[in-house]
Amino acid sequence: MKNLFILSSLLFSINLCFAQPLWISFTTANSGLPSNNVNDMTIDASGNIWFATNNGIAKFDKQNWTVYNSSNSPIPHNVCNTIAAEGDTIWIGSVFGLCRLIGTNWQVYPNIRYVMSMAFEPNGTKWFGLLSDSGFQGGLYRYDDISWMYYDTTNSILKGNWVTGLSLDSFNHLWLTTSYPAGIINFDGMNWTLFDTTDFGFQTDIISEISVAPNNDKWISTNKGVLKFDGTNWTIYDTTNSGLPDNWVRAKIVYEDQYKIIGSHGISFYNDTSWINYDNLNSGLVGYAVVDIELDLNKNKWISTIGGGISVYNEDGVVLSTHENNYSYSLNVYPNPTVNTLFIDLKEIQSNISVTIFDNMGKKILIKNLRLPENKINVDDFPPGIYICNLLINQTSYNFKFVKL
């Protein structure tokens, strides 16, 4: 009984003071984002978020936006496919040339076009994977700040010249993926090893990305699902044998605690046992075709979409800086845990509230509009468990967890 009292008090005190929303979004309508087509993102050593879009690139320092495009910078084309931080140095892959930005100094490599992927070794070696289409040669470049080395299907074991993904493992060995045809290649500094569809056991022409988990497993994003390689065995996860909501996985898989975070039709959290899925219907995600996911030091998940802009998700509340409280209301929600009714102390709220409640797996359980002076939510019919309650107030989303006993 004493432990139950302590748990109840703790949950009450935590949720009594919720301030930050679970989801926030940035689009061309509410921010300095230059396009809602955000192809890639990166976070530099100073914590700034950078976006590669179809209308130039943007830097967001958690307060201000700075946009660079072909009219105010040396970027040779506004369509930028990829962007990557090497410390505080920013590399941009535009359609008509690769760019490097160091502080305010630009360098352009106009002959290296359609860069689709990048990876940087600790020793300063840089790798760039190119698209092969419409007369562009594609292939792979290696650069050590002095000279360039070029690889393609004629002088290496590259399966194809469309190099879609690059990643380094814990030994700083390079892993890369190709499309048309699909292949996975490992380079250990001396030797190249090729894996193709006969190795991983299913047919596809499209591999979008590759990433390396903390335990050195390789996770590969394809149009037929997610492929895992543990060094010996290959495992495919798709809509027929897992909780993956869609087989077309475009984003590089990222890792947080025990979860793999996968971007397909929305985002999925997978902990080797269960799946939690969020999309634009059961969450604050602005779009559904996810192309990139980045994690910042505040455990915010930055999610870029095709045509929707950017969403930021944090299960503990989005925090853009340690001093931010722009989204705060003085609200009390009680009791927590509850048996049959949640009460919302509306103190400073002068508008109606839209309430949506999800279970712990992300399934929508209840939608309700609270019209002043109504301030209670009936949860008597809910099975015991943990729930997430979303309150939409003046177009801003707030979330808290509660326990139904």
Same domain for 273 and 358?
Answer: no
Residue-level pLDDT at 319:
83
Same domain for 68 and 107?
Answer: yes
Same domain for 217 and 160?
Answer: yes
Last residue of a domain, one of 284, 313, 342: 313
Same domain for 145 and 274?
Answer: yes
Last residue of a domain, one of 263, 286, 313: 313
Confidence category of residue 236, pLDDT binned at 50, 70, 90: very high
Same domain for 358 and 281?
Answer: no
Is 322 among the domain residues?
A: no
- Which of 16-25, 32-41, 100-109, 156-165 is least confident? 16-25
Q: Is the model more confident about 43 or about 399? A: 43
pLDDT digits (tens, 9 = 90+) for 161-207: 999 999 999 999 999 999 999 999 999 999 999 999 999 988 999 99
What is the 8-class DSSP label of residue 169? -
In angstroms, the Cα distances linking 46 to 89, 101, 145, 168 are 10, 14, 23, 22
Same domain for 369 and 256?
Answer: no
Confidence category of residue 158, pLDDT binned at 50, 70, 90: very high
pLDDT at 87 over 60: yes
Residue-level pLDDT at 346:
63
Residue-level pLDDT at 145:
94
What is the 8-class DSSP label of residue 289? B
pTM of the model: 0.80
Same domain for 115 and 31?
Answer: yes
Residue-level pLDDT at 350:
56
Distance (Å, rounded) from C-alpha 210 to C-alpha 302? 18
Residue-level pLDDT at 198:
95
Q: What is the mean pLDDT of the chain?
A: 88
Dihedral angle, C-alpha 296, 145, 158, 79, nearest 10 °: 60
Same domain for 140 and 224?
Answer: yes
Is 319 among the domain residues?
A: no
Distance (Å, rounded) from C-alpha 83 to C-alpha 40? 6
The number of distinct structural domains making up the chain is: 2
Residue-level pLDDT at 321:
63
Residue-level pLDDT at 320:
80
* Nearest alpha carbon to residue 81 among 66, 72, 92, 69: 92
Is 17 among the domain residues?
A: no
Same domain for 335 and 264?
Answer: no
**What CATH number does residue 336 fall under?**
2.60.40.3080
Q: Enter the tokens of residue 174.
A: 């390079």
Same domain for 29 and 146?
Answer: yes
Confidence category of residue 9, pLDDT binned at 50, 70, 90: very low
Is 259 among the domain residues?
A: yes
Q: Enter the tokens of residue 89.
A: 């140095």
Residue-level pLDDT at 8:
39
Distance (Å, rounded) from C-alpha 208 to C-alpha 177? 8
Distance (Å, rounded) from C-alpha 287 to C-alpha 264? 11
Last residue of a domain, one of 281, 313, 345: 313
Is 90 among the domain residues?
A: yes
pLDDT digits (tens, 9 = 90+) for 371-401: 766 678 899 999 988 887 877 776 566 777 7
Peptide bond connecting 181 to the previous residue in cis, omega within 30 degrees of 0: yes
Residue-level pLDDT at 330:
55
Same domain for 237 and 378?
Answer: no
pLDDT at 23 over 80: yes
Give the contacts of 123 (CB within 8 A, at least 6 positions apart).
Answer: 172
**What CATH number does residue 142 fall under?**
2.130.10.10
Could you tell me the residue range of the domain that residue 350 belongs to? 2-12+328-404
Is 19 among the domain residues?
A: no
Same domain for 246 and 309?
Answer: yes
Is 318 among the domain residues?
A: no
Report the run of H or E that residue 16 belongs to, with start and end: helix 2-16
Is 150 among the domain residues?
A: yes
pLDDT digits (tens, 9 = 90+) for 322-362: 444 344 455 677 888 999 998 877 665 556 778 888 776 66
Could you give the percent of the chain with pLDDT greater than 70?
A: 87
